[in-house]
Amino acid sequence: MGRRIVINDACVGCAFCMLVCPYDALEVFGKAEVDYKACTACMKCVTCCPNSAITTEGTNSDGNPDE
């Protein structure tokens, strides 16, 4: 299975992820929501979240488990 972006409860809805996403795959109406059809799990949102509210689950494209 591929890597998947997950939003956890620490999300306050600041919208940084929406603003940095190159694929318009995030919307923020109070909380961040991922459009999995558009998301490529490029990790840009994960590294920009000021509250560490975005994590990944599953394995990455190399087939290795995520940290």
Partner 1 sequence: MNNNSESSMKVAIIGSGLGGLLTGAILSEKGYKIDIFEKLKFYGGRFTSLEYKGFQISTGALHMIPHGKRGPLGILLRKAGSKVEIVDSNPEGELLYGKERIEVRSSVFPLGSKLRFFKWLLKYRTFKSDPWMDKYERELDDLSQKFLRSFLGWALSIKPSEIRFSKLLAIYKNILKYNGPGIPIGGCKAVVNSLVEVILSNEGRIFLKNPVNKLKAENGRVRGLESKNGWEKYDVFISNIGHEATGELLGKGYCKEVESKGIKYSISINEPFVGHTGVLFTLNCSRISGMNEVTNADPSLAPAGKHLLQVHQPLTGGVEGEIKSGLEELRGLLKGYEYEILAIQSYFDGWPVNRMRSGLDVGYETPYSNLFVVGDAAKGDAIEVDGIALGIAEMLEREFGERIDLG
Q: Which of 2, 6, 8, 15 binds partner 1 (CB under 8 A)?
A: 15
Cβ contacts of 32-39, under 8 Å, gap ≥ 24: 32/7, 33/7, 34/5, 34/7, 36/4, 39/5
63 makes contact with partner 1 (CB under 8 A): no
* 14 contacts partner 1 (rule: CB under 8 A): yes
- Member of 30, 61, 62, 63 binding partner 1 (CB under 8 A): 30
Size of the site for partner 1 (CB under 8 A): 19
